[in-house]
Amino acid sequence: MSEEAALKETANSQQVTEPSTLPEAEEVDRASFASLKDKISLPTWTAITERPFHLKTMSPVQEAVLPLLPQLAEPFVEAGTGKRPARDLLVRAKTGTGKTLAFLVPAVEARLKAIEAAGNQGVQDAGLVQDKKLEVRVQRVYARTQIGTIIISPTRELATQIANEAMRLTQHHDGFEVRLFIGGASKVRQMRDFMKGRRDIVVGTPGRLRDLLENEPEFTKAASQANMLVLDEADTLLDMGFRDDLEAIINYMPKQPLRQTFMFSATVSTEIRQIARAALDKNHVFIDCVSDDAPPTHAHIPQYHTVLPNAGEQLPHLLRLLAHDQLTNEKSKIIMFLPTTKMTQLFATVIRQLGATCLPSGKQTKIFEIHSKRNQATRDNTSRDFRNDKSRASILISSDVSARGVDYPGVTRVIQVGVPTSSDQYIHRVGRTGRGMNTVGRADIVLLPWEVGFVTWQLTHIPLKPLTTNELKKQVTELAKTYDATAPLEVKEQRNVLDRRGYPMPQPIWPYSPAHEKFNESITSFVEKIDEEAVKEVMMSNLGYYIGRSGDLRVQRNVVVEGVKDWTVKTMGLPAPPYVSPAFLAKLGLAGGDEGRNNRSRDSPSSFSRPGQRSWEGRGSQRSWEGRGSQRSDRRSDDRERGDSRGRFTNDRHDRRQQSSERDRHSFSDRDQRSFSDRDQRPQFSERDRRPQFSDRRQQPYERERRPRSFGVAE
C-alpha cells in the first residue's frame, strides 16, 4: 500500500494540495511574506521581513501553512452547531525546507491570542466590562503559569537550533520568552529559570521533557494546560525509539480538541499514521509538501563511493579527499562522519595531527570535534563555531549527533567513513552539504573491503559514482601542480610571518606537491606513536557497532571480526591485532568462537573462505577492489559501549611498558554546565564560557584565542 493510499484511512482529514511541486522556474510566483502583514502581529512580521530574518518570499511548506493564519492561531472555542474548523496539521516536508518558521509563526501568534483571551476572560469573570489594569494583571499571571507551546525535537542540537530560531522570531515582542529543556545541561538551572520567568514556548528533547513531567509537579501542572504541541522530525523521533516517551508526554497534556497539535515529518510511515491517530484531532489538515515525482533532496549532489583495496589505504585516501576539497574550494568546509564515538575521538586526533603537515591549508585548517561523549556546553560551542566559521579551511569530525536537522551553511563536502546505520541515515548525512550556498557540494563514502555490501545492497537507489584510490591520487597530484604554479599571492606572502607575540603564524603549505608525495611517510611516522590501548578501545567499539549490521552487509559475523582486527594492523599500524576474549565474542552473539580461532594469524584463511583468500572476498569477488566500485546490485548510531573515554592516542608504543604508569591520559570529562536565559539581553542558548578543550591542549597560544560570540543561528 502506498503512503498516499494509506493516508486515506483518515477519512475526516482535509488535504491541502502542495504548491512545492512547481518547477524551479516558477519560484518567482511564490507567495510573499508581505501578504501576511494583515494576518499576523506586527512584531512577528517585522522580524520576518526586516531584522533579523530579512525574508521576502515563502518556501513551499511556509506557503502551504502560513496562509491558514489567522484562523489557525485562534483559541479553541466550543462550537454550538456546525463543524469546527480544523486546527491540527500533519505536514509531510523534507528537512531544510523552512518548516521551522512554518510552525513557529503559528505558535507565536496562538500564544499572543491566548494571552489576550485570558485577560478578557479575567475581566468578564470579575463582572466588569473593562478594566485595563486587571486585564494586564491576569495576562501576566497567565503567561507565567501556563505553557503556550511545547516543541519536541529528536536531538539536543536541533532543539537548540529551534529555540534560537524562536528567540529571533520573537525579539520584537516585549517579554516573550523561550525555554530549552535538553539533557546534558543542569535540570536544576533549567527549572529555576522556568519557575521565575514566562513560559511562552518550551523546546525540548523527549527524555528530558518526560523526566520533568514525571518528577517536577510545577512543570506537570503547566504542561497540563498547554495550548499547542509540535512534533518536529516525527519520523526521526520514532526511528530513535522515542515512541513511548511521546505517548507519555501526550498523556500529560490536554486532550483533543483543547490541545492543538502539529506534526512535521519527512515521511508518513505506518508508525507516523499511528501516532497521528493518537495525537491529532480527527478533523485535521494533511499538507503534503513532497511530490511523488520530485527528485530527492540529495539527488542534485554529486556522490562518490570508494571501496578501498585494503585497510592500509584508509588514511591516505581520507587525507587526499580533504586535500582535494581544499584545492578545489576557496573556502573548504567539510563534515566527516564516523560510525562510533570512540572512532570519532581517534580520528579527530589523527586528522588534527596529520592535517598540519599533509593538507594544503596546513595548520590553518580548523578541526572541530563533536560527539556524545562531550558535554552539552562543549557541543553547543563547537556547533556554533563551525556554523559561523568562514575561514579558508575547516573540518567537523562528528558522530551522528550532527547528521540530521542541524543547519551548517557553506558545507562543501560530506565524507562518510564506514557504513551508517541505514540508507536513510546516509541520505540525511549527505543533506548536510550544499545548504545555504550557491554550489551543490559533494558527498563521499569510504568503505573497507568487507563493507562493500552496504553499497551493493542498501544504496542501490542512490546515484553513486565509483572513485578508486588511484584515480583520486592522480586528481590530487594534478591539482597540487596547478596550485603550486598559480597559488594566490597571499599564500606566498604568509611564509615565515610572525604574529605580534613572536609566534609563527599558521601557514598554508606551499608548494604542496612535496607534502603530497610524502603522504605515506608522514602517516607511517604518526601511527607508530598511537597508543595500542586506544586502538583496542576503538576496535571493541567498532565490533559492537558492526556485528549488529552484518546482515545489512551480507557478511558473516566472523568476517566482521576479522575485518575490524585487520584494520588495527593495516590502518593503525599495530604489530598484531589486539586480543579479543571468547567471552566478549560470545556477548556479541558469536557462539562457538574459541580462543584458537580468535588468535588465528591475520594471514590465515577463515573457515568461510578459500585458501589464500580473505573471508570478505567471497563468491564472485575480486582480489583487488580497484575499479570494482561500479558494481551495483534505526536506533542511534553513537557508541554502544559504556565507560569513560580517554584520549590516549599519541603515546610512544616503544616506551609503553616502561612508562605505562606515567602515560598521559587526557580526560574527556564533562565540565560544569552553564544555564541560559532568554531574558534581558536574550543570549543564545548555546553560548557558554569558552574553556580549553581536549582538542586545544596541544595548540599554540594563537590557536586558543576566543572568537567573538554570536547568535546561535547564522544570520
Which of residues 483, 506, 524 is at a domain's end? 524
User: Going by C-beta distance under 8 Å and a sequence separation of 6 or more, which residues neighbour residue 3?
Assistant: 267, 268, 269
pLDDT at residue 677 in the model: 40
Per the confidence metrics, is the pTM higher than 0.95? Answer: no
Based on the fold, state whether residues 381 and 501 are members of the same structural domain: yes
Asked whether the predicted pLDDT for residue 419 surpasses 90, the reply is: yes
Strands (E), 386-450: 393-398, 413-417, 443-447
- Going by pLDDT thresholds of 50, 70 and 90, the confidence category of residue 15 is very low
- For 368, phi then psi, to 5°, come to -110, 145
Which of residues 255, 288, 321 is at a domain's end? 288
pLDDT at residue 293 in the model: 58
Strands (E), 361-507: 366-370, 393-398, 413-417, 443-447, 464-466
State the average pLDDT over residues 3-25. Answer: 38
Cis before residue 575, ω within 30 degrees of 0? no
Least confident of 32-41, 50-59, 219-228, 504-513: 504-513
C-beta atoms surrounding 520 within 10 Å: 12
Based on the fold, state whether residues 250 and 307 are members of the same structural domain: no
User: Going by C-beta distance under 8 Å and a sequence separation of 6 or more, which residues neighbour residue 218?
Assistant: 191, 194, 195
Exposure string for 377-406, b = 16+ CB within 10 A, e = fewer: bbbbbbbbbbbbbeebbbbbbbbbbbbbbb
Least confident of 449-458, 463-472, 681-690, 706-715: 706-715
Least confident of 473-487, 500-514, 581-595: 581-595
Query: Quick one: the chain helix, strand, coil %, rounded to 5?
Result: 45, 10, 45
More confident residue, 606 or 499: 499
Residue 195 included in any domain: yes
**Rounded CA separation 317/239 (Å):** 32
Helix (H) or strand (E) holding 231: strand 228-231
State the average pLDDT over residues 67-83. Answer: 82
Residue 266 included in any domain: yes
Q: Reduce the DSSP state of residue 413 to 3 states and report it.
A: strand
Which of residues 262, 288, 314 is at a domain's end? 288
Do 158 and 143 form a contact (C-beta atoms < 8 A)?
Answer: no
Asked whether the predicted pLDDT for residue 605 surpasses 90, the reply is: no
More confident residue, 244 or 715: 244
| Secondary structure of 290-351 in HEC code, one letter for each residue | CCCCCCCCCCCCCEEEEECCCHHHHHHHHHHHHHHHHHHCCCEEEEEECCCHHHHHHHHHHH
- Written as nine digits, the cell of 517 is 608525495
pLDDT at residue 586 in the model: 85
What does DSSP assign to residue 57? B
Asked whether the predicted pLDDT for residue 492 surpasses 70, the reply is: no
Q: What is the pLDDT of residues 517-554, one digit of tens each?
A: 999 999 999 999 998 999 999 999 999 999 988 888 88
Per the DSSP assignment, residues forming a β-bridge with 413 are 334
Based on the fold, state whether residues 92 and 217 are members of the same structural domain: yes
Asked whether the predicted pLDDT for residue 154 surpasses 70, the reply is: yes
Helix (H) or strand (E) holding 261: strand 260-265
**Rounded CA separation 184/207 (Å):** 11
**Rounded CA separation 322/314 (Å):** 12
**Rounded CA separation 13/43 (Å):** 33
**Rounded CA separation 654/529 (Å):** 8
Do 595 and 582 form a contact (C-beta atoms < 8 A)?
Answer: yes
- Going by pLDDT thresholds of 50, 70 and 90, the confidence category of residue 152 is very high
Based on the fold, state whether residues 307 and 244 are members of the same structural domain: no
Q: Reduce the DSSP state of residue 204 to 3 states and report it.
A: strand
Based on the fold, state whether residues 508 and 412 are members of the same structural domain: yes
- Going by pLDDT thresholds of 50, 70 and 90, the confidence category of residue 575 is very high
State the average pLDDT over residues 325-350. Answer: 94
Q: Which of 224-228, 265-269, 399-403, 483-487 has the highest mean pLDDT?
A: 224-228
Asked whether the predicted pLDDT for residue 694 surpasses 50, the reply is: no
Asked whether the predicted pLDDT for residue 243 surpasses 50, the reply is: yes
Q: Which CATH number goes with the domain that contains 211?
A: 3.40.50.300
CA distances 511 to 329, 475, 526, Å, are: 17, 17, 22
- Going by pLDDT thresholds of 50, 70 and 90, the confidence category of residue 685 is low
Find the DSSP H helices in 554-660: 557-570, 582-587, 595-598, 656-659
Based on the fold, state whether residues 27 and 104 are members of the same structural domain: yes
Q: How, if at all, do strands 393-398 and 332-337 pair?
A: parallel
Least confident of 6-20, 313-327, 576-590: 6-20
State the average pLDDT over residues 418-424. Answer: 88
Per the DSSP assignment, residues forming a β-bridge with 260 are 228
Based on the fold, state whether residues 388 and 492 are members of the same structural domain: yes
State the average pLDDT over residues 649-676. Answer: 43
Q: Reduce the DSSP state of residue 424 to 3 states and report it.
A: helix
**Rounded CA separation 605/713 (Å):** 54
What does DSSP assign to residue 624? -
Asked whether the predicted pLDDT for residue 294 surpasses 60, the reply is: no
Asked whether the predicted pLDDT for residue 620 surpasses 90, the reply is: no
Least confident of 191-195, 267-271, 583-587, 677-681: 677-681
State the average pLDDT over residues 227-234. Answer: 95
Helix (H) or strand (E) holding 162: helix 156-169
> Hey, CA dihedral for 406, 249, 423, 267, is it positive or negative?
negative
Per the DSSP assignment, residues forming a β-bridge with 688 are none
Based on the fold, state whether residues 219 and 307 are members of the same structural domain: no
Residue 316 included in any domain: yes
- Please state, rounded to an integer, the average pLDDT across all residues of the chain: 79
pLDDT at residue 708 in the model: 37
The residue to which cell 573471508 is assigned = 615
What is the domain extent for residue 205? 3-72+88-288
More confident residue, 200 or 295: 200
Least confident of 33-47, 289-303, 390-404, 683-697: 683-697
Residue 646 included in any domain: no
User: Going by C-beta distance under 8 Å and a sequence separation of 6 or more, which residues neighbour residue 625?
Assistant: 307, 308, 309, 310, 449, 452
- Going by pLDDT thresholds of 50, 70 and 90, the confidence category of residue 194 is very high
Closest listed residue to residue 542, CA positions, set 326, 347, 305, 320: 347
Residue 663 included in any domain: no
Residue 200 included in any domain: yes
Q: How, if at all, do strands 303-307 and 88-92 pair?
A: unpaired
Closest listed residue to residue 547, CA positions, set 539, 558, 537, 534: 558
Residue 687 included in any domain: no
CA distances 383 to 342, 369, 377, 378, Å, are: 19, 9, 10, 8
Based on the fold, state whether residues 148 and 180 are members of the same structural domain: yes
Do 677 and 193 form a contact (C-beta atoms < 8 A)?
Answer: yes
The terminus-to-terminus CA distance of the chain in angstroms comes to 43
Residue 697 included in any domain: no
Q: In the chain, how many domains are there?
A: 3
Based on the fold, state whether residues 461 and 365 are members of the same structural domain: yes
Helix and strand totals (H; E) in the chain: 27, 17
Based on the fold, state whether residues 211 and 131 are members of the same structural domain: yes
pLDDT at residue 13 in the model: 42
Q: Reduce the DSSP state of residue 153 to 3 states and report it.
A: coil
More confident residue, 27 or 236: 236
Based on the fold, state whether residues 62 and 204 are members of the same structural domain: yes
